[in-house]
Amino acid sequence: MPCPPAHEAACSSAANVGVVLAVIEDPVPKHLKKYTLSSTTAGIAFVIPAWNTISMLIGGFLGWVFAKLHAQKAKRYSRAIAAAFIAGESHVAVLVAALMAANLLQAG
């Protein structure tokens, strides 16, 4: 997808940052990996709407807090809870679309 002319500097900067993150991600020692920024995560954050990124930030923070408070439960249930929230959001989006299509819900 071509970059709009007014945004060429931002697009090239983002591409360069992505390349640098991808290159330095692998050689980082294992004990320092948790302090590095994933190039995949950064790329996704730049292309999805802000509300999705903010939701992921909040979810990640809540998961971190849960893991600090209940380490064993977090190890066992965190992925299942995250998957349930993702599926639940999708189901609500489908429900809202169906209600709007049936003229039972107005946008805005």
Tens of pLDDT along 79-100? Answer: 898 888 888 888 998 999 999 9
Looking at residue 1, its pLDDT comes to 61
Looking at residue 71, its pLDDT comes to 93
Amino acid sitting at position 47: V
Tens of pLDDT along 18-74? Answer: 888 888 888 888 888 888 877 777 777 777 888 887 888 888 889 899 999 999 999
Cβ-count burial 36-75 (b if 16+ within 10 Å, e if not):
eeebeeebebeeeeeeeeeeeeeeeeeeeeeeeeeeeebe
Looking at residue 57, its pLDDT comes to 83
Count CB neighbours of 14 within 10 A: 16
DSSP-H helix ranges across the chain: 8-25, 39-47, 50-69, 71-101
